[in-house]
Amino acid sequence: MQNIRKILLILLIIPIVAIVGYYALIFILGGPALPNFFELNNHDAGTHEVSVEILNSHNESIFKESYRLHPEESVSRTKPFNLKNSFEQKKYTFKVVLDNGVAEEKTSISLHRWSTATINLYWDNETPIIIGVVTV
């Protein structure tokens, strides 16, 4: 009877150790999560009003804020807890409006703990708002 308990205990511990080891290995190989949810950069010589809205995969607004960016200024927002501590990709829609509607860009992107969305403003460019992803 004592041997059966030891065997059952070992059979219970093995899957737990395997799961914890798997996530520890991913963390060790991948490194810590990137801190920023998005980075907004004004590469233009002028000051711009920028509105950023982020929708989750259920099309619900999870973030909406406006910024006034001077030339070569940037701002960033830290990653939400559920994205920073998840090993899965999550889909978000970024809607960026420049100077009260002069230019607008809406893009769906997938992010995970090792990626950050980038929003770059280039007024003289054909597309003044460029939304991308940086992954390490």
Residue 93 and residue 41 in contact, taking contact as beta carbons nearer than 8 Å: no
pLDDT of residue 36: 96
- Measured over the CA atoms of residue 45, residue 124, residue 116 and residue 57, the dihedral's sign is positive
Averaged over 92-117, what is the pLDDT?
95
Residues 55 and 100 in one domain: yes
Each residue's pLDDT tens digit, 1-48: 678 888 888 888 999 999 898 878 877 877 788 999 999 999 998 999
**Which residue type is seen at 95?**
K
Residues 5 and 64 in one domain: no
Alpha carbon 76 to chain centroid distance?
11
Residues 9 and 73 in one domain: no
d(CA 121, CA 115): 20
The contacts of residue 26 (CB under 8 Å, 6+ apart) are: 87
109 CB-side CA count, 13 A? 21
Residues 58 and 121 in one domain: yes
Structural domain total, the chain: 2
Each residue's pLDDT tens digit, 39-85: 999 999 899 999 999 999 999 999 999 999 999 999 999 999 989 88
Q: Burial of 108 by CB count in 10 Å (0-12 exposed, 13-18 middle, 19+ buried)?
A: exposed
Domain that holds residue 70: 36-135
pLDDT of residue 32: 83
Full-model pTM = 0.80
